[in-house]
Amino acid sequence: MFADPSAARLTPRYSRRVVEERDAHAELLADFRAGMLESPRSLPPKYFYDARGSQLFDAICDTPEYYPTRLEAELLERHAGAIMEASGARTLFELGSGTSRKTEYLLEALAGRVAQPHYVANDVCGEILDEAGGRLLQRFEQLQVDSLCGDYAAALTHLADVSGAQADGPRLFAFLGSSLGNFEDAEAGDLLRRIRETMNPEDRLLLGLDRIKPRPVLESAYNDEAGVTAAFNLNLLAVLNTELGADFDLEGFEHRAPFVEAQSRIEMHLVSRRDQVVHVSEPEARLQIAEGEVIRTEISRKFSRDAVDRLLAVAGLEHEAEWSAPEDWYSLFLLRPGVA
Ligand code: SAH
Ligand code: AVI
């Protein structure tokens, strides 16, 4: 997760640079203090994604129960041409790009439109960025890939380092997978506003959001039979063991992911199976965790149309076009920056 802090042009068509607004390790320490030494305990979900966490997320996408990836991939496969056409983009910039597998539909459409397509990928996980970059360079012969390894906010700050030149033309920003749903309203609004402030008037944002649907479908997606989501959730404790010198016993916690209807969101929980004490070296701490106590590791919001419209209004983004799966189970929104 905390890759070599250097900018590197690794091949003529691929660069990776680490971007951070605060030292990533110091930020984990601060987030741990704020979330894990308080009750109820919680942590931001970005810490799931070390190399193993990224692999586990990829495996979640292949489970029969996790519908968001499939629905979004189907929408992108069908509409990538129209999306690229409507955006007029010459560059694609993606936040939280992961494996960039679904992105290939957009890149294919981009490569069909411009001679020298440019893809700027951002993720907190350096390993996944390099892996995806290598694959994309093989598939798209003219593609230039620049990876920004770090938080969304840092990537937005540093986007100008690798794009923004006149030759890059209009850019399509992409924020897919319903990753915005991992943020509460205030943070989601701040992030969207930050995106809007980074956009030029001719840039567009493609936002993929998961929508409300029957509880059994939602809960199965986050409680898959094979236990991949459980392993993903528990891996967060392994990350803390490595990064903070903690001694969490992964067997001592159980995965749960209920749909909390009042807030229209799945909550991922790790529930302590017994009274236990966990030691942490940095920050030096002794956590007394009671049987049944919950660590909330993620929220995953399921958006009503009203909730989407409210967020976009707060952030100053305007609808340009949208594409939805049957019964509005998943939507892609093409947005333009409003007049500030
Ligand atoms: N967009 C992909 C991946 C979604 S998983 C898809 O739709 O399938 C979420 C991705 O965002 C992971 O690859 C994770 O490493 C990355 N991520 C999570 N929090 C992040 C943050 N705060 N800043 C940047 N990337 C983040
Ligand atoms: C990345 N994020 C949008 C996923 C989600 O659905 O909230 C992460 C995930 N957590 C459990 N399964 C998938």
Q: Do the beta carbons of residue 93 and residue 172 sit within 8 Å? A: yes
d(CA 58, CA 69): 10
* CA within 13 Å, CB half, 308: 21
Report how far ligand 2's centroid is from the alpha carbon of 300 (Å). Answer: 6
d(CA 282, CA 14): 36
Range 157-181 average pLDDT: 88
Single-letter residue type at 228: V
Range 295-300 average pLDDT: 98
Task: Give this prediction's pTM.
Answer: 0.96
The verdict on the CB of residue 221 being under 6 Å from ligand 1 is no
d(CA 330, CA 340): 29
Single-letter residue type at 51: A
Report how far ligand 2's centroid is from the alpha carbon of 68 (Å). Answer: 9
Ligand nearest to the CA of 121: 1
d(CA 312, CA 328): 18
Lowest mean pLDDT among 9-13, 118-122, 222-226: 9-13
| Res. 50: pLDDT tops 80 | yes
Kindly give the number of the ligand 1 atom that is closest to the alpha carbon of 97.
Answer: 1
Q: Where are the beta strands (DSSP E) in 197-305?
A: 204-210, 253-256, 259-260, 265-272, 276-280, 285-289, 294-301
Tell me the average pLDDT of the chain: 95
Q: Where are the beta strands (DSSP E) in 37-176?
A: 41-42, 91-95, 118-123, 144-149, 171-175
Atom 18 of ligand 1: nearest residue by CA position: 46
Query: What pLDDT, in 10s, does the model give residues 51-90?
Result: 999 999 999 999 999 999 999 999 999 999 999 999 999 9
**How many CB atoms within 10 Å of residue 22?**
12
What's residue 69's pLDDT? 98
Ligand nearest to the CA of 230: 2
Query: What pLDDT, in 10s, does the model give residues 94-119?
Result: 999 999 999 999 999 999 999 999 99
d(CA 74, CA 61): 13
Q: Do the beta carbons of residue 273 and residue 254 sit within 8 Å? A: yes
What's residue 166's pLDDT? 54
**Which residues line ligand 2 at a C-beta cut-off of 6 Å?**
60, 68, 177-179, 181-182, 222, 229, 268, 298, 300
Single-letter residue type at 224: D
What's residue 213's pLDDT? 98
d(CA 96, CA 191): 13
Single-letter residue type at 171: R
* Confidence band for 2, pLDDT divided at 50, 70 and 90: very low
d(CA 210, CA 70): 12
Q: Choose among 296, 330, 304: nearest CA to 48.
A: 296
* Confidence band for 3, pLDDT divided at 50, 70 and 90: very low
Which are the contacts of 172, defined by CB distance < 8 A and separation ≥ 6?
A: 83, 84, 87, 89, 91, 92, 93, 106, 110, 203, 204, 205, 206
Does the N-terminal peptide bond of residue 283 adopt cis geometry, omega within 30 degrees of 0?
yes
The verdict on the CB of residue 176 being under 6 Å from ligand 1 is yes
Query: What pLDDT, in 10s, does the model give residues 227-281?
Result: 999 999 999 999 999 999 999 999 999 999 999 999 999 999 999 999 999 999 9
User: Quick one: 276 exposed, middle or buried, by C-beta within 10 A (0-12, 13-18, 19+)?
Assistant: middle
